[in-house]
Amino acid sequence: MKLLLTTLSALVLCLATSQAVQAEDAPIKILLVTGGCCHDYDFQTKAMQKALKDQGIAAEWKVVNEGGKGTKAEIPLYENPEWAYGYDVVVHNECFANTSDPAYIRKVTGPHMAGVNAVVIHCAMHTYRAADVDDWREFLGVTSKHHEHQSEYPVKVVAKNHPIMKGFPADYKSAKDELYIIEKVWPNTEILATSISEKTGKLNPVFWTNRYGKARVFGTTYGHSVATFEDAVFLKTLARGLKWAAENKKK
């Protein structure tokens, strides 16, 4: 009997170990929501997908590009209450500044509050800018209403030991991109890196993480130009941020 119990225990341990390895090796399930004003979203999508491959991160992508190229849209995706079901992480790379209906916005933020992890890029910070409610801004982790001119901005890492930023070059300058002015950093936000305004001399977060309800959120305000999505450092950081966010669900 003792031998049987020992054998059974070994089998259970082996099975548990095997399942853990399989879970670790399973591809990240990613929903990319993109579209709207002002950017080459097809190019950016392909660049992100290639960046994960280059970093050896296995991924299954679903890309939803809805709403046209204007600044106002309520896309069909969010009409389904289970729009985020089954994904490890949702990447928001959309740009709809003049969409403002609170009920619609809460269809987006609700699943994230419940635990759907996210990555938010560039114009996601100005999406729903016209809204009076702060739900989206709290989800992002920062509040921004405008940006300054394009330039090659030095990036200063302030969280050197964070797994997303380890090995980030000390002398890095962004590709030519816009600097978003951050009016508010929300309480659950950890700033990872900053850039300085050439107009005011004030520091603005450009990479950060946020905890929104049960979800992990990684964000960056860079991502306007084609040059940024050709920049190896930016893409590596974005891939690391996506992996970090997704790991919250895989644990």
Q: How confident is the model at residue 14 (pLDDT cuts 50, 70, 90)?
A: very low
Residue type, 71: T
Give Cα 149 to chain centroid, integer Å.
Answer: 23
% helix, strand, coil for the chain, step of 5:
35, 30, 35
**How many angstroms separate the Cα of 22 from the Cα of each of 15, 16, 106?**
10, 10, 35
Q: What is the largest CA-CA distance in the chain?
A: 78
pTM score, whole prediction: 0.90
Residue 56, both tokens: 């050896």
In the chain, pLDDT over 90 holds for what percent of residues? 88
pLDDT tens profile 137-172 = 999 999 999 999 999 999 999 999 999 999 999 999
Token pair 């916005």 in the structure block, residue: 105
Sorted by where each begins, the domain ranges of the chain are 27-250
pLDDT tens profile 110-132 = 999 999 999 999 999 999 999 99
Q: How confident is the model at residue 248 (pLDDT cuts 50, 70, 90)?
A: confident
Q: Are 36 and 73 contacting, i.e. CB atoms less than 8 angstroms apart?
A: yes
**How many angstroms separate the Cα of 64 from the Cα of each of 31, 32, 106, 132?**
8, 6, 19, 26
**How many angstroms separate the Cα of 90 from the Cα of each of 31, 86, 136, 156, 171?**
5, 10, 14, 27, 31
Q: How confident is the model at residue 223 (pLDDT cuts 50, 70, 90)?
A: very high
How far apart CA 95 and CA 110 sit, in angstroms, is 19
CATH topology of domain 27-250: Rossmann fold (3.40.50)
How far apart CA 137 and CA 98 sit, in angstroms, is 14
Cβ-proximal residues to 101 (8 Å cutoff; 6+ apart), any chain: 74, 131
Q: How confident is the model at residue 25 (pLDDT cuts 50, 70, 90)?
A: confident
Q: Are 114 and 144 contacting, i.e. CB atoms less than 8 angstroms apart?
A: no
pLDDT tens profile 30-79 = 999 999 999 999 999 999 999 999 999 999 999 999 999 999 999 999 99
Collapsing DSSP states into helix, strand and coil, what is residue 52? helix
Residue 11, both tokens: 């089998």
- The pLDDT, as a whole number, for residue 24 is 58
Region 189-204: mean pLDDT is: 98
How far apart CA 66 and CA 56 sit, in angstroms, is 29
Token pair 């949702």 in the structure block, residue: 90
How far apart CA 54 and CA 48 sit, in angstroms, is 10
- The pLDDT, as a whole number, for residue 8 is 38
Average pLDDT, the chain: 92
